Structure 1
Amino acid sequence: METIYALSSAAGRAGVAVIRVSGPASADAVRVLTGEGPGRPREAVLRTLRDPRDASILDRALILWFEGPASFTGEDVAEFHVHGGRAVVDGVLVALGRLPALRIATAGEFTRRAFENGKLDLTEVEGLADLIEAETAAQRVQALRQMEGALGHIYEGWRGRLMRVLAHAEAEIDFPEEEIPGDLTRKLGPEITRLADEIRNHLDDGRRGERLRDGVEVAIIGPPNVGKSSLLNRLARREAAIVSDEAGTTRDVLEVRLDLGGVPVTLADTAGLRDAVNAVEQEGVRRALARAEGADLRIVVAALRPDGGLEGDFSLAREGDLRVLNKADLGPSNLPGAILVSAATGEGLDWLEEALTQLVGEKAGIAETPAITRGRHREGLLACLGGLERALGALREERAIELVAEDLRLAARSLGRITGRVDVEDLLDIVFRDFCIGK
């Protein structure tokens, strides 16, 4: 096993930078740079780092030693906590690079070693990646739960139960002459049914975890000049969109990112929906309609006119959409089911933001039970559910026990691929490709 090293803290100037070394030559790396052994595990020691080429001082640093397997990677690990100036960091990295037993780590290699050494399963690895990328409090909570194994424990629990059922089927196949109760696997049909129902309910919990991880998509739609861009600017608390009295000012979809109640939201301002007068506006309307169709939530906007009439209506609204009547400063209105606001004066904006935050929280809030956070989890669970349903069908039709066992085996393999228990070599590059060097 090669020994790897890399900067594990963020690049750039900082008060402290962390350089990590993992592998069998980690202790030697400490000895070469400090002239002393690494010290006792998990006890920080202050040492002078010297360049092995000419013994020049590189820095005064804290050294932390983690003896495998009680470390992040499961191997011997040394951490150099150095001052975070670029010259210091570069100097230590260059010195480590001169040691023949060391090489620079590839992206995600420390975490990949943790997986390969049984310290993390794939769902925990993904939770760690999500924690590094978390932008909101709710994302942080979800990522921590996943990194601590909440999701993996559910899937491994299902897999364990499934493997017990499969073991009975294999026993009937492999030991037909032994004194095994007849029709044993068929008597386990209720357990297969319970497993299928639990997985189906897990899948039916919307896309809550995926929405929280990736963000909720909210589209603002309506005819021209009802104040869609002004509303976007108000919600974003900055001048993100150009506002004009001229119809058709917004030609393309404009996005801003918000944090509403700890949930990341992508708020999209779309072109005004009308019979377009030219090809550019036609394309803008087409994109607006496509974005509105794919959005998790929509704010449908109409507006009061000075004469008391309405500009636009709510015919495009679907169940769960927010209906907003803008330009409340032009006069009173009691239109039912609509939030009355004025983007010009700010009237009603607090009510709109509160309602939007509530709906977004319902779409992607933290649930009591861990939620699916990635498409590959969903694909694996659907494949598992398909295998269970085929096995139940084979049991009902009294088909050969070998066919039942094969479907159960495929279902168990699909669950195992989620946590990394079986057949994962083709998944590893996908899981680890977005990790940074040093993690």
Structure 2
Amino acid sequence: MADTIFATSSGRPPAAIAIIRISGAGAFDAASRMAGKLPPPRRAGLRQLRHDGVLLDEALVLAFPGPASATGEDLVELHCHGGRAVVAAVERSLSAQSGLRLANAGEFTRRALINGRIDLAEAEGLADLLAAETEAQRVAAMSAAEGRVSRAIQGWIDRVAMLAAQVEAALDFADEDDVEDDPAAMGQVRSGMQLLSDDIEAVLAQPPVDRLRDGIRVVLAGPPNSGKSTLLNRLVEREAAIVSPISGTTRDRIEVAVAHAGLPFLLTDTAGLAGATADPIERIGIARAHRAIEEADLLLWLGDETPPRRDAIWLHARSDAVGRDHVPAGPMLAVAADHPTTIAALWKLLTSRAQDLVPRVDHLALGTTQRRQCHTAALALAEPWADLLIGAEHLRVAHSALAAILGLNSTEHMLDTLFGRFCIGK
């Protein structure tokens, strides 16, 4: 039998209200020892919370019998006053009860998954929702948490199951000596598998959700003293990078997260791309700059020479400096640190480019692991075969890959990694 767990599920005190949740087979008994008779299910009741006869607080108490609760188990919520001393006293009282323990990070949601209240895709969406800092992150996470990804994946699983049933039927009615005598049945299954593979690939062609979670990587690159650090500071509106006329001031990558127009960006300042150098630290910085350029979602190139990537946003930097008032052919935008209109124009360009790198609100957004499993399924479904037994095996592989997205064959390590992203109490 699983332990009965408890934790504060609201924000860190002090606060107006603190919600302390208790979940497990002993939840009702534990709450009754403190609050006396519990109110009817799903109805709030005002109760005095006591420990060894000492009044701890007056709180609203709600009881949710399992399995129709957030965790699928008996669950009680204590809505206490949100002072630190009150919360600490209630938690000490619960800790003193035999069979109760403080919940681990994400353990309430993990129990909801294990007890079938949510699936793995919904749990991942909830984790992203808790971490959301921009509107785009919130919208994508809410879509997953409310089951949009799950419904799509389940629909694909159902289609695989129907195709597998057709294969089983064809095998059952085929002659033992020749299971390939029904070309019509084989053709129908093949076309169904290919159509499903095409549908999955169409979703995989959309941008991944990871750029919303991790930020769109914008790398500022160019030769030394080309204005990279100054431009970074203007874009993030604070002194995030050291600015100096001394060549080689920036030796390592400086990363700054910023939200703009509802989108998350990760701006990276890099070491100046100088020629050969005897300084080993500078060589490491230049190597990291080259790697950042390769990995960038968007590259801001501040050099006067042709950018190293054809898709780079080529800037005519320091356009207010002496001798740089003329914009040569090549750069698409002139920027100057002391001219806010040029910074605004650059943000407009970055936002426009970024919109094409993140999933649209009306499209299904998948994460890296989900995309990998879908790719495995699509490949298996599109694999040519001549024997129904081989076709059945391809369907089994596709089913297994899609089921993994919903957590139907998840490993403990994978679950530990996911729920380690949650806070205690969720």
Q: How high is the TM-score relative to the length of structure 1?
A: 0.90
Any idea what the Cα deviations from partners look like across 1:148-200, whole Å, max 9, x if unmatched?
A: 0011111110110011001111223345469xx94424322211111011111
Counterpart check, 1:316 vs 2:317:
no
Q: CA RMSD in A?
A: 2.1
Cα separation, partners in 2 of 1:92 and 1:175, compared to 1, 3 Å: farther
Other-structure match for 1:309: none
Other-structure match for 1:326: 317
Listed as ranges, the matches of 1:28-427 within 5 Å are 28-37=29-38, 39-51=39-51, 54-176=52-174, 182-183=182-183, 184-207=185-208, 209-277=209-277, 278-302=279-303, 312-319=304-311, 321-329=312-320, 330=322, 331-336=324-329, 337-373=331-367, 375-390=368-383, 393-394=384-385, 398=386, 400-422=387-409, 424=411, 427=414
Quick one: distance in 2 between partners of 1:267 and 1:122? 31
- What amino acid maps onto 1:21 in structure 2? I
Quick one: distance in 2 between partners of 1:32 and 1:324? 69
**Per-residue deviation, 1:371:** 1.2
Quick one: distance in 1 between partners of 2:388 and 2:309? 52
Any idea what the Cα deviations from partners look like across 1:67-92, whole Å, max 9, x if unmatched?
A: 22221112221101112222211211
Percent of aligned positions that are identical: 41
- What amino acid maps onto 2:406 in structure 1? T
CA contact (8 A) 2:207 2:365 kept: no
**Per-residue deviation, 1:106:** 2.4
Any idea what the Cα deviations from partners look like across 1:259-316, whole Å, max 9, x if unmatched?
A: 02222111001111111432221211111111111111110113xxxxxxxxx32332
**Per-residue deviation, 1:4:** 1.8
Aligned residues: 417
Q: Which moved more, 1:194-203 or 1:415-424?
A: 415-424
Quick one: distance in 1 between partners of 2:25 and 2:274? 68
Cα separation, partners in 2 of 1:223 and 1:20, compared to 1, 3 Å: same
**Structure 1: gaps spanning 5 or more residues:** 303-311
CA contact (8 A) 1:138 1:365 kept: no
CA contact (8 A) 2:253 2:269 kept: yes
- What amino acid maps onto 1:151 in structure 2? V
**Structure 2: gaps spanning 5 or more residues:** none
**Per-residue deviation, 1:328:** 2.0
**Per-residue deviation, 1:219:** 0.4
Quick one: distance in 2 between partners of 1:386 and 1:430? 27
Quick one: distance in 2 between partners of 1:189 and 1:126? 33
Q: How high is the TM-score relative to the length of structure 2?
A: 0.92
Q: Which moved more, 1:234-243 or 1:330-339?
A: 330-339
